[in-house]
Each structure stands twice: as structure tokens, then as C-alpha cells.
Homo-oligomer: A and B are copies of this chain.
Amino acid sequence: MTEARRPVKKPPMREVLAEAAFQLFLERGFERTTVDDIVARAGVGRRSFFRYFPSKEDVVFPDHERCLADMTALLEAADEGDPVSTVCDAARLVLRMYAANPEFSVQRYHLTREVPGLRTYELSVVRRYERTMAEYLRGRYVGTPDGPLHAEVIAAAVVAAHNNGLRSWLRSGGEGDAEAAVDHALGVVQEVWGAKAAGAAGPTADDDEVVVVVASKSTPMWRVVQRIESALAED
């Protein structure tokens, strides 16, 4: 009763719009929600919406465009180190975008699973990340046999590994260490595709050293590679 009146901090317009959109998508589905519905719920004008978001989908994935731009910049600025390690770093930008706002990311994860239109939109975005990485790798593999093929396969593997780690974290409700989950998953790709010296915790490259591997012929190739990796780590 005697509580002092404090100024209520208004949430930013961007968040008000995103909140209204989320409510409506859950209530009536993504396809049947219009931008007009969203601005009515948020109590703002139609123009405000388009000042913040180019489309209805962007309300749900507001940061992908910026992240794609960051990824392109990272890849353009990358030095001549291991290309696979570089695209793994690029993938980590996406993870960090999700991890910056766990609650929103987990809520969106559940929404996206329920709304086919959003799943489709997400697929398109993921594909753009994959293409960005593949394009970088193609540039790095110019002149090597099957360069473009390796570029596309590795980009797809990096994206799949990243998404596996990201999904584990999202399914856990955004608890735990998102970076560790993704690092572990990306490690599987780096084991087989990366230059051996690429791992942050791995040994530095030394052209004079050699590795000898002895393996039974029936051992799956990735187990052979794991053994090579551990031999190097012990070194």
C-alpha cells in the first residue's frame, strides 16, 4: 500500500513486437497470423513493424541476417590457417547468437517445431550459412582435386555437427554449457577433415614429425582417424 511509485521501464519496441508475434503464432498458427494482427496486439502502427523487421519470419529469427553478415566478415578476414578450423569458428558465431538469449532461443525452438512455416524458414537460413561456408572452402581448395566437392561435404558436416550440439543444448532447456556441446560436436568433423594441427588443444604443426598408424583393415575409417588424433594428442 505504501510502496513507492517507481518508473516502469518500458521494454524496447522490438521486444514488444516479438512478444506479440510469438503469442499469436502459438495461438493461431504462423500462416494465419498477419502483420496487422501483430501490430494490433502490440498496440503500435504497421510502419513500426517494418521499421524493425523486413518480414513476419524475421520477428522469430531477428538476428540471422546480422549473424550471416558477421560470418561473411569473419571468413573474409580469416588468415591462411586450417580452413576446416576456420569454418568451425564461423559456425560458433551462430551458436553464440542462440546462447546470448537462452530463454528466447528455447521458446523459439519449441515454436519452430510446431509451425511448419517456421521450420521451412529455418531450413532456408541454415542453408544460407552452409552455402557461405562452402563458398569460403571452395576458395581455399582451389586447385586441389575435388575441391568443390570437399567444400560442400565439409560445410554440410560442420552445419550438421553444430546443429547437433545446439539442439542438445536447446532440448536441455538452455541449461548447461552450449559452447562445450558444440565444440565437442565440431571436434568430430575436425577429427576427420581438419588439418591435424588445427585443434586449439592439439599440437602445433611440425613438418619434421611423422606419425605411424597400424590398424586392422576391418576397423571403420573414423575409428582409424580417432586413433591418429589421439596418437597426435599424446605426442
Contacts and interface: CB of A to CB of B under 8 A. Distances in A.
B217 A197 contact: yes
Contacts of A195: 218-221
Nearest to A205: B218
Contacts of A207: 216-218
A188 B123 contact: no
Pick the 5 closest A-B CB pairs, nearest first.
A156-B160, A205-B218, A156-B156, A192-B192, A209-B217
A205 B219 CA distance: 9
A189 interface: yes
- As for how many copies of this chain the complex holds, the number is 2
Nearest to A149: B164
A193 B225 CA distance: 9
A234 B232 CA distance: 26
Given A123-B120, A124-B123, A148-B164, A188 B153 contact: yes
Interface string A139-153: 000000010111011
**Which one of A150, A157, A193, A220 has the highest number of Cβ atoms from chain B below 10 Å of its Cβ?**
A220
Given A194-B220, A219-B196, A220-B194, A152 B156 contact: no
23 contacts: A119-B124, A120-B124, A123-B123, A149-B185, A150-B222, A152-B161, A152-B163, A153-B157, A153-B161, A153-B185, A155-B160, A192-B222, A192-B225, A193-B221, A195-B220, A196-B217, A206-B217, A207-B216, A207-B218, A210-B214, A211-B214, A211-B215, A213-B213
B188 A217 contact: no
Contact of A212 (B119, B150, B212): B212
Contacts of A191: 221
A170 to B, nearest CB: 15
A216 B215 CA distance: 18
Most buried by B among A155, A209, A214, A228: A228
A127 interface: yes
Given A149-B188, A163-B152, A192-B193, A216 B210 contact: yes
A159 interface: yes
A20 interface: no
A176 interface: no
Nearest to A218: B205
